[in-house]
Amino acid sequence: MSAIFKQHLQKFISISDEEFEQILSYFKLITVSKKENLLLEGQVCKQHYFVLNGCLRKFFINEKGVEITTEFAIETWWITDNKAFEHQTESPFNIQAVEKTTALTIDFHSQEKLLNDFQVMERYFRFIYQRAYAAAQMRLKFLYDFSKEDGYYNFMEAQPQFVQRIPQYLIASYLGFTPEYLSEIRKRKRS
Amino acid sequence: MSAIFKQHLQKFISISDEEFEQILSYFKLITVSKKENLLLEGQVCKQHYFVLNGCLRKFFINEKGVEITTEFAIETWWITDNKAFEHQTESPFNIQAVEKTTALTIDFHSQEKLLNDFQVMERYFRFIYQRAYAAAQMRLKFLYDFSKEDGYYNFMEAQPQFVQRIPQYLIASYLGFTPEYLSEIRKRKRS
DNA sequence: CGGATCGTTGATCAACTTCAACGGTCGTGG
DNA sequence: CCACGACCGTTGAAGTTGATCAACGATCCG
């Protein structure tokens, strides 16, 4: 299972089998079942998750009591509330399993230690954050550029893997509109 | 002027004066006047900018021909189209000076070389991208959480430094609505 | 002084939300 | 293995939010 993580690391940096085993020892392997929570709103965000298989999502609850999903993570994606993780403060987010999920998890202090002990991990995380930041910038562009309807078609094309496995109300939530409106868009397309 | 950059580096890593001079040699110092362009849509995004003073913005032009500003950068902020920079591909964005601006600039290959030559710069950029990603995540949350009106009040509170120096139509563009609507919000507040 | 740029106003219009209700399906307990 | 309840997607009507368009006044700058 953790071979997935090894392959992912080796896409960015070169490490020996021995080094990998040492690096892996900073992590814990966890499995959570569908709807199980890994972080609750108001808690300090202690962990950074690397999904090996399954799917996690990050969401918050707005003043109307509606869940808004801001992020999904599937195989080989990292997920956490980075701001709360970095400062070890309370998070406004929840992290929950969409499906049964296996992940590696590392707490803040272990991650700091890992970065100090392995220079090459600075390089790895520099890549990871750089890519994640670039992706977030493009996501912002899409939000500004597209109407909600076009955003849906764009997402369908760009991430068909999600549309297969994720319930529609979560997709609507992620795209920033209501399930009813998603229904309407789909009806329009059909006719 | 470049002392600003030195101070910024030293907030994250420790370097000697000598090292700093070497690092600085990878950059060029530029000054641009108001409305001058540093990147045009369709060009390969070759440069990464670190603002020493003044203000840059990144924007694109939507299908209706309207400029949408997705990012500002003032003193000690980095700015580029990270996706296009990383892959050295054409960018859909423009980068333009809002005011007369002085910045350090580094091209992609120099940045790669800098990262290879100075281990400590991997750490510095890991911090930079980590913070930038966390900030982008919070920005996304605000976009999902707030109505446009609330988004304006929130921005006013969080970034009063902008509201002073940036024309209103740019603020409206950044917040994702029209100047007319901003006018309406302001009128409502007044009464 | 004269033109371009910026903020404002008000009327009309489109995109999207809210609410209430209904039918299908899926999983769980009896 | 069936029945029931919870959950999910869908519909349609009415309501909001914010966009569009055209016009005007103020200000800045050459």
* Spatial CA neighbour of A129 closest among B84, B1, B28, B127: B127
pLDDT at A191 over 90: no
pLDDT at B1: 84
Block residue for tokens 């009806």: A187
Are the beta carbons of B145 and A68 separated by less than 8 Å?
yes
Residue A163 confidence (pLDDT): 85
pLDDT of B162:
84
Backbone angles phi, psi at B48, to 5 degrees: -115, 125
User: What is the model's pLDDT at position B190?
Assistant: 65
| pLDDT of A63 strictly over 90 | no
Q: Can you tell me the mean pLDDT for A91-102? A: 95
A158 touching chain B per CB within 8 A: no
Output the CA angle B170-B174-B175, nearest 5 degrees: 120
pTM for the structure as a whole: 0.95
Q: Quick count: other Cβ atoms within 10 Å of Cβ B27?
A: 20
pLDDT at A127 (0 to 100) = 98
Mean pLDDT of chain A: 95
Query: pLDDT at position B188, please?
Result: 85
Rounded to the nearest angstrom, the gap between the alpha carbon of residue A29 and the centroid of all alpha carbons in its chain is 17
Q: What is the 3-state secondary structure (H, E, C) of chain B?
A: CCHHHHHHHHCCCCCCHHHHHHHHCCCEEEEECCCCEEECCCCECCEEEEEEECCEEEEEECCCCCEEEEEEECCCCEECCHHHHHHCCECCCEEEECCCEEEEEEEHHHHHHHHHHCHHHHHHHHHHHHHHHHHHHHHHHHHHHCCHHHHHHHHHHHCHHHHHHCCHHHHHHHHCCCHHHHHHHHHHHHC
pLDDT tens digits, A140-176:
999 999 999 999 999 999 998 888 889 999 999 999 9
pLDDT score at B191? 60
Q: Which of these, B43, B33, B92, lies nearest to B67 by C-alpha position?
A: B92
Contacts B145 to A, Cβ<8 Å = 60, 62, 68
- In chain B (191 residues long), the average pLDDT of successive 10-residue segments reads 95 97 98 94 97 96 92 96 98 96 97 98 98 97 96 93 89 96 89 60
Residue in B123, B129, B134 nearest the CB of A130: B129
Cα–Cα–Cα angle for A45, A48, A52, rounded to 5 degrees: 140
pLDDT at B163: 84
**Strand D bases with any atom < 7 A from protein Cβ:** 8-13, 17-22
> A125 — contact with chain B (CB < 8 Å)?
yes
Instruction: Kindly tell me if the per-residue pLDDT of A62 is higher than 80.
Output: yes
